[in-house]
Structure 1
């Protein structure tokens, strides 16, 4: 069977998790990726990763908030008429609509959905729109050929919501081969009595809950430092909170957006990565894989509709994975360099056993080989 064609909202490869997943799949399939190019990156975006596959922009309606719907076009008609397996990335109402149309027009055509996350409630009218979209999506995807998701946590929730277990498969996110090689070459952490070096990487927005991390650190009894990598609309608010909590102390450093070389240097010097997001829209966190490959444990919260807690969960660090206990577990790490050394080894071992490139390729082949 022909290679899959993909459909997504953004322009791959981009910097987000959805774009990076689509990029890795396209690099294996070599087939066209169709996109609504929601952020108009196709004209002048410098690709973050090398692209070896064709990409096509589908004309779409003017955005209504985050809502984009496909417009009638030759490219859309070509996509719907094709007999190639179609692989769409959710969440996106526009992508969901095309998957449904493809299924209705050609019932025997293989149509797959990649369920990246459950959308989370937001204040106001957006909450109602998100709820309607998710209600529709959970009624469409059980009728597709298969639903692929990123963790056993999300797979379990999809089955609970009505998908047949035989039609749900798990394909965790992955790193590209070059990233993996560089990160695995970094040395594991040694048991030296230095202040705990905490790292945060992400967009500085409200749902990332950097405020919770800084508040937790303010309660520690042992020395620490925090490097914040990333930028976003809440940066000034977070910097103000730093001044409120710590005064003139330089324990918290805002690095801004860094290139890959500079980010690698931060990973090489950190003891623990913390991703304290409170929403299910943060469902995996590829940066957790970067940390674990580098031998850094990752802390994230457990959520019934997110795999974040599952990705970095380590047997050597049992804790509730709830916000109220973040300060306690961080203080435990700050007090014990020996524990940090043991967790460094366990984090890398978990990466090698569950998330390494060769493991991902085996899972990829087991899911898609019958379709190729």
Structure 2
């Protein structure tokens, strides 16, 4: 079952925005880490998020041929060893996961549906979980995640029929927080139980980084997954914030991290996407943000250094490509790539034609991530032969 058009491009970006709202409702407190998973040298898995979806136009929809090319680049040029296969559509998810496994990549398979009934979401978890188990039994390296930030995407936890309505209710304070968290805990428990019934490897979930807003019973899971969009001037502050997620004594995966390519974007702490006026036709950029691919690259590189220093289980940069946010170098007012977190910029052959063919080009962030992933991969290879 497909999501609505309004969710496809902004699915995770809306989630990041809601993190900012959550911080305004319930500020996070720094909790001391009481236990940590065993330390190891550097990140265990270095990856990128690869979203599959129907797209906002037929031209930007998931394509098997494009996916295969992208995964080759992710492995051979980005030097990632992990791909977070996420989005909706069981056929797209499983085909992409199978291709990634065939190429020797570690797979983090994470179905993420929004604005559909709970039963449909649980059915998708079951189908994808069964497929992940088949991959695992065939010898693939695969983790299975039951989903992402259920409080936002699952109807009935927060009032509102759509993601945008739920964000609006949250923004206006029309949410009973205690009731929301009870409903969230109930659904998270059901999702974990469904997944456990079909998948017998490492099970995870991608939660908001504010634990007071989205408290998760991590006893249900093997991997603690956090969507991380904080900004601090000093690396030590990131380390201090992330350590609290280690107190469960379980591997910590950064299931999303990133920012946009304009000056000041990292300081928005997950709200970088919010510079587009969606009421205009065509959509246009608000204000006068100054494009800076260097800003995006520096933020990702700095966070990767933090994650490496902490020896975390995994980190997945958000995201490889966002085809529905095309780059318009000669038209800054409509350069929607400014609001994209992607490591690549999507360029249409005919910018004003919705049906136009398109291609992606690497941003500076792509090269920054590739440099760090490649350097670590080379170090690991030397260690294997040492």
TM-score of the aligned structures, taking structure 2 as reference length: 0.30
